[in-house]
């Protein structure tokens, strides 16, 4: 059994590849909820939705968020009423938020609400929030502290980041699905998807017991680098790295995870970085990491699973095993 830690677009794409290769009972996909917020009364979970829509084959490939073939009647009317236009709400996407909010109001946990939504979208693989507790990430910028979506969507990641606050996640308990997968005797590897380390993965690591579970894991922990050729495939990861004073390089990604991970999958175009990554203490696996289409997603997933097998075979060499 494999555990994948996923943020938004990159996480969703690798998750889709893994779902193609692994049976539902052999994969747990845990998803960042540090981006979640309540907007106009609705509980919105952007990363959970991106993963769910992507796995259902319903996601909008152009935006990376929302549903394909969406209409905007409610959003247009909301705009005319002077409502907040910075967060776009598609008509069909709205139903997801309404249903989730309704389930939570009825007393369901976020895990249970996610399970019901995934069932309704016809998914067979398990998607779980990283936690059922509130765990909002706060981004401290030159414009002051910003709630995540204020930073990410309203301000389009423009204000330079100075510091990121995970204190809500530090008080949160991992979801049952995440915790059980981390401690399952069937676990064969933990896969950190190519997601933003600061905005998507650090929230996981801030949850009680998760960082130490990865540090002490007896199975390989593999990171797929979200930095390819010195830039982020999508999103502000490279920009934030530079603002925080580190190079936007797969080497820095390896350093970020050096105490937690055993190996890092880097793109073919970054093959020359392998020696420097070895110096950080991680095995580098050079292969494909781009996942524009389903074929690419399966190819990368297979490459990552092959790397996991390789590392599992070399398990006795693990520095921290």
Q: Give the shortest CB-206-to-a copy of itself separation in angstroms.
A: 27
Nearest CA among 209, 199, 198, 202 for reference residue 173: 209
Q: Give the shortest CB-81-to-a copy of itself separation in angstroms.
A: 4
Position among 73, 156, 163, 183 found at the interface with a copy of itself (CB under 8 A): 73
Q: Is 69 in the site for a copy of itself (CB under 8 A)?
A: no
Q: Which helix (H) or strand (E) holds 253?
A: helix 250-256
3-state secondary structure string across 61-114: CCCCCCECCCCCHHHHHHHHCCCCCCCCCCHHHHHHHHHHHHHHHCCCCHHHHH
Q: Is 80 in the site for a copy of itself (CB under 8 A)?
A: yes
């049976």: which residue's tokens? 23
Position among 95, 271, 278, 279 found at the interface with a copy of itself (CB under 8 A): 95
CB-wise, 23 or 77, nearer to a copy of itself?
77
Look up residue 175 and give its DSSP letter: P
The Cβ-side half-sphere exposure at 67, using a 13 Å CA radius, reads 17
Position among 23, 24, 71, 315 found at the interface with a copy of itself (CB under 8 A): 71
CB-wise, 24 or 122, nearer to a copy of itself?
122
Token pair, residue 38, equals 């309540």
- 36, burial (CB in 10 Å: exposed 0-12, middle 13-18, buried 19+): buried
Phi, psi dihedral angles at 36 (to 5 degrees):
-65, 150
Token pair, residue 300, equals 């990368």
Distance between CA atoms of residues 181 and 111, nearest Å: 14
Distances (CA, A) of 218 to 1, 177, 283: 13, 19, 16
Q: Is 91 in the site for a copy of itself (CB under 8 A)?
A: yes
Nearest CA among 269, 260, 234, 230 for reference residue 248: 230
Residues 38-67 that bind a copy of itself (CB under 8 A): 38-43
Cβ atoms of residues 300 and 18 within 8 Å = no
Q: Is 185 in the site for a copy of itself (CB under 8 A)?
A: no
Q: Give the shortest CB-69-to-a copy of itself separation in angstroms.
A: 11
Helix (H/G/I), strand (E/B), else coil: 41: coil
Q: Is 94 in the site for a copy of itself (CB under 8 A)?
A: yes
CB-wise, 78 or 246, nearer to a copy of itself?
78
What single string gives the DSSP state of each residue in 180-209? HHHT-TT--EEEE-S--IIIIIHHHHHSTT
Q: Is 68 in the site for a copy of itself (CB under 8 A)?
A: no
Q: Is 85 in the site for a copy of itself (CB under 8 A)?
A: no
Q: Which stretch binds a copy of itself (CB under 8 A): 14-22, 90-98, 159-167, 195-203?
A: 90-98
Q: Give the shortest CB-90-to-a copy of itself separation in angstroms.
A: 9
Q: Which stretch binds a copy of itself (CB under 8 A): 1-9, 75-83, 205-213, 261-269?
A: 75-83
Q: Is 75 in the site for a copy of itself (CB under 8 A)?
A: yes
Site string for a copy of itself, 117-136 (x = CB under 8 A): x--xx---------------
Q: Is 96 in the site for a copy of itself (CB under 8 A)?
A: yes
Q: Is 157 in the site for a copy of itself (CB under 8 A)?
A: no
Token pair, residue 156, equals 């389009």
Question: Which residues form the interface with a copy of itself (CB under 8 A)?
Answer: 38-43, 71, 73-78, 80-84, 89, 91-92, 94-99, 101-102, 105, 116-117, 120-121
């Amino acid at each position: 059994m494999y555990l994948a830690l996923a943020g938004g677009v990159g996480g969703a794409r690798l998750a889709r590849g893994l779902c193609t290769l692994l049976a539902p009972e052999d994969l747990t996909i845990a998803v960042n909820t540090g981006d979640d917020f309540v907007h106009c009364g609705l509980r919105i979970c952007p990363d959970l939705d991106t993963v769910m829509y992507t796995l259902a084959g319903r996601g909008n490939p152009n935006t990376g968020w929302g549903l394909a073939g969406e209409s905007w009647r409610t959003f247009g009317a909301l705009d005319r009423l002077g409502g907040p236009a910075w967060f776009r709400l598609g008509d069909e996407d709205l139903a997801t938020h309404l249903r989730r909010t309704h389930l939570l109001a009825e007393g369901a946990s976020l895990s249970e609400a996610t399970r019901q939504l995934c069932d309704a979208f016809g998914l067979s693989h398990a998607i779980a929030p990283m936690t059922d507790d509130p765990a909002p990430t706060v981004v401290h910028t030159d414009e002051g502290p910003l709630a995540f979506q204020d930073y990410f969507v309203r301000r389009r990641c423009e204000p330079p980041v100075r510091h990121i606050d995970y204190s809500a996640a530090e008080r949160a308990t991992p979801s049952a699905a995440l915790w059980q997968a981390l401690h399952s005797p069937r676990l064969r590897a933990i896969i950190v998807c190519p997601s933003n380390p600061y905005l998507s993965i650090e929230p996981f690591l801030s949850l009680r017991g998760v960082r130490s579970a990865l540090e002490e894991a007896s199975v390989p922990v593999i990171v797929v680098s979200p930095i390819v050729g010195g830039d982020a495939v999508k999103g502000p990861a490279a920009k934030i790295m530079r603002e925080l004073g580190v190079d936007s390089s797969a080497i820095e990604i390896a350093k970020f995870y050096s105490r937690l991970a055993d190996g890092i999958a880097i793109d073919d175009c970054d093959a020359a970085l392998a020696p420097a990554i070895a110096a950080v203490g991680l095995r580098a696996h050079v292969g494909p990491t781009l996942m524009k289409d389903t074929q690419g997603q399966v190819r990368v997933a297979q490459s990552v699973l092959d790397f996991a097998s390789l590392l599992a075979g070399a398990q006795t060499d693990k520095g921290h095993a």
